[in-house]
Amino acid sequence: MNPLRPRSKVRIWISALAVATVASSITVAVQSSKSVQAATSPSGAVDANIFVNLAKKIVPSVVNISTLSKVQSPYGRGGQDDPFRKFFEDFLRQHGGGNGGGNRGRPFEAEPDDEDQGSSQPGDPNASGPLAMSLGTGFIIDASGLILTNNHVVAGADEIKIHFTEATDEKPTDGEVVGRDPELDLALIKVKSKRTLVPVALGDSGALEVGEYVIAVGNPFGQGHSVTHGIISAKERMAPDFQLANYLQTDAPINPGNSGGPLVNLKGEVIGINNAIDQRAQGIGFAIPINLVKEVLPQLRSKGTVARGYIGVLVNELSPDVAQKLGFAKDLKAPFVTHVYPGEPAEKAGLKPYDVILEFNRKKITSSAELVSAVTSVPVNEAAPMKISRAGKEMELSIKVALRPGAQPTGKPESKKDSKEKRQARVKTGMELENLTPEMARELGMADKISGIIVMDLAYGGPADKAGIMRGDVILEVDRKAVKDVDAFYSVVKEKKTYLLRVRRADPMGREMFSVVVLDLK
């Protein structure tokens, strides 16, 4: 299981057993050097009420979100073996939970309260089958009634209720999703209210530095508006579940129900949206940088969806060993191509594996994250220049950006032994190899005509293990030459020296990945 996962709102299953399930969200916090100056008086004394004043400014613009939806199983997504379900179910059995509104702190009961009964519409507790109530957070970005939150907070909801306060006499306001961006995990909600809605100010997450303070406002366990604070622990953390997001990392306290809440700097500007935690640790939370959000907001407002550019290529970061093997300086910072999808824009433009990407659309590229950002910022169907280095020679290509397709799931690699194949054990590589059969290829989510060899077993601490090769990897090339079977592999790998391997694997989510590693047999 991938330990890094987006943690959604508190989820309560309303059924005969009143089983509770919860997924969580993040609270995060940040502070800038400029903000520190703003928090001090001319004499240099720290303003002791800085967080008090920030809370008074931000909390009125934050809302508690509850949703109701039909479910197929009393255990919902993940099934009864889902560790997230087990963790939060145990918590709610001991502590009850709240509903984010006037009944704050009261345990959920087997019978729904008045707020949840409604009419015989979708989400009616009297309808057949169990129902799921979910809790999360959002914040106002426009006085007309636009609220920003995480997509996973409202995904699959039949009803969305917005609570502006914890007042016992407040009647929740209906919310409607008007825009979704699942890839960045964003949702835009529209509400109609006679209240005076005060939007937050959106800051500049690119100006953040590690160590800056922030506050985070959320709806932990349905308790209602709560404020926490901490620092930015790191920037540009990769997100396995959301490849387009490079997270802000924070050590702020986090609790279930905070998903979609704002991360705010000391100037009172939102610089992130709380989104995920590392379940293995305390004080490791993640937020979506607000600059990424600002890039897609215009499309979410006008179209309700986001169209992103796509060129059909996979890349890795250059390591010193790979850079040297490809003939580049060890300290070169740039992504290089590990796979080009047939028929896609990259192939049509002439891009090839091992090409090093230096610029895209006249922007210098030093990492795969920068390449993704540059590609997705180009309007679909427009051409952009790309500067690459191939075998030490710089050249410029023109590439027409296509519409980014939906994620295509791939099979999880499983080791299947073929007793008819004789394993080759020539030069000791520290791995056991088999020919890739059409059946294996289909199970791995690959075209059944693709040839290669699959890693069946590894010797702990051996050359292949040290190179980062894993069981289930498919080796496609050795020293830039395709290998069709085990014999072809060992016809090249027959001396105790270093070799460049191009490898295909599936990540923990089942998505296809390609890597280039150096196998050192010396």
Q: Write the CATH number for 487.
A: 2.30.42.10
Residue 236 confidence (pLDDT) above 80 = yes
Lowest mean pLDDT among 100-114, 367-381, 392-406, 453-467: 100-114
Residue 421 domain-assigned? no
Structure tokens at 73: 């199983």
Cα gap 222→105, rounded to integer Å: 8
Q: What is the pLDDT of residues 502-511, one digit of tens each?
A: 999 876 666 7
Nearest CA-CA partner of 7 in 225, 284, 214, 243: 284
Cα gap 453→473, rounded to integer Å: 8
Residue 379 confidence (pLDDT) above 80 = yes
> Of these residues, 116, 124, 185, 251, which one is catalytic?
185
Q: How many CB atoms lie within 10 A of CB 437?
A: 16
DSSP string, 365-423: --SHHHHHHHHHTSPTT-EEEEEEEETTEEEEEEEEPEEPPPP---PPP-----TTSPP
Same domain, yes or no, for 257 and 293? yes
Residue 175 confidence (pLDDT) above 90 = yes
Between 150 and 24, whose confidence is greater? 150
**Is 350 within 8 Å of 372 (Cβ atoms)?**
no
pLDDT for position 510: 65
Same domain, yes or no, for 273 and 343? no
**Is 436 within 8 Å of 417 (Cβ atoms)?**
no
Cα gap 409→248, rounded to integer Å: 27
> Of these residues, 35, 152, 181, 226, which one is catalytic?
152
61 a catalytic residue: no
Q: How many CB atoms lie within 10 A of CB 307?
A: 14
Buried b (16+ CB within 10 A) or exposed e, 397-416: bebebbebeeeeebeebeee
Structure tokens at 36: 């520190």
Task: Output the CA torsion sign for 522, 314, 247, 210.
Answer: positive
233 a catalytic residue: no
Confidence of residue 310 (pLDDT cuts 50, 70, 90): confident
Between 397 and 330, whose confidence is greater? 397
Helix (H) or strand (E) holding 84: helix 83-95
Residue 97 confidence (pLDDT) above 50 = no
pLDDT for position 25: 36
Same domain, yes or no, for 294 and 337? no
Q: For residue 121, give the CATH number of its domain.
A: 2.40.10.120
Domain boundary among 263, 285, 306: 306
Structure tokens at 177: 């999703």
Q: State the total domains in the chain.
A: 3
Nearest CA-CA partner of 222 in 113, 98, 132, 88: 98
pLDDT for position 89: 39
Q: In this prediction, what percent of the chain has a pLDDT beyond 90? A: 36
398 a catalytic residue: no
| Residue 315 CB-half CA count within 13 A | 28
Nearest CA-CA partner of 340 in 274, 399, 298: 399
Residue 419 domain-assigned? no
Same domain, yes or no, for 293 and 317? no
Same domain, yes or no, for 361 and 485? no
**Is 154 within 8 Å of 190 (Cβ atoms)?**
no
Pairing of strands 146-149, 131-142: antiparallel
Residue 327 domain-assigned? yes
Cα gap 147→138, rounded to integer Å: 6
Cα gap 37→43, rounded to integer Å: 11
Structure tokens at 373: 């950002």
> Of these residues, 25, 35, 134, 259, which one is catalytic?
259
Q: Residues 486-500: what's their mean pLDDT? A: 90
Same domain, yes or no, for 290 and 363? no
Domain boundary among 403, 423, 449: 403
Confidence of residue 347 (pLDDT cuts 50, 70, 90): very high
Lowest mean pLDDT among 74-83, 219-228, 271-280, 374-383: 74-83
Residue 330 domain-assigned? yes
Same domain, yes or no, for 257 and 316? no
Helix (H, G, I), strand (E, B) or coil at 495: coil
Residue 242 confidence (pLDDT) above 70 = no
Average pLDDT, the chain: 76
Q: Which domain holds residue 463?
A: 431-520
Same domain, yes or no, for 79 and 178? yes
Same domain, yes or no, for 330 and 196? no
Instruction: State residue 371 phi and psi, 5-degree precision.
Output: -65, -45
Residue 116 confidence (pLDDT) above 60 = no
pLDDT for position 243: 62
Same domain, yes or no, for 463 and 366? no
Q: What is the pLDDT of residues 402-443, one digit of tens each?
A: 887 653 333 333 333 333 334 434 688 888 888 887 767 776
CA angle 358, 359, 364 (to 5 degrees): 95
Residue 409 domain-assigned? no
Helix (H) or strand (E) holding 215: strand 213-218
Cα of first residue to Cα of last residue in the chain, in angstroms, is: 35
Confidence of residue 471 (pLDDT cuts 50, 70, 90): confident
Residue 411 domain-assigned? no
pLDDT for position 239: 65
Cα gap 78→496, rounded to integer Å: 47
Helix (H, G, I), strand (E, B) or coil at 182: coil
Same domain, yes or no, for 396 and 460? no
Lowest mean pLDDT among 20-34, 128-142, 232-246: 20-34
Same domain, yes or no, for 140 and 185? yes
Residue 408 domain-assigned? no
pTM as predicted:
0.58
Cα gap 104→64, rounded to integer Å: 12
pLDDT for position 392: 85
Q: Residues 373-380: what's their mean pLDDT? A: 84
Residue 148 confidence (pLDDT) above 80 = yes
Domain boundary among 276, 306, 336: 306
Helix (H, G, I), strand (E, B) or coil at 464: helix
Nearest CA-CA partner of 47 in 266, 344, 274: 266
Helix (H) or strand (E) holding 37: helix 33-38
Pairing of strands 356-360, 313-317: unpaired
Instruction: State residue 315 phi and psi, 5-degree precision.
Output: -135, 160
pLDDT for position 244: 67
Contacts (Cβ under 8 Å, ≥6 apart) of 52: none
pLDDT for position 357: 95
Residue 516 confidence (pLDDT) above 80 = yes
Among 37-41, 287-291, 418-422, 504-508, the range with the most confident prediction by mean pLDDT is: 287-291
pLDDT for position 15: 32
Residue 386 domain-assigned? yes
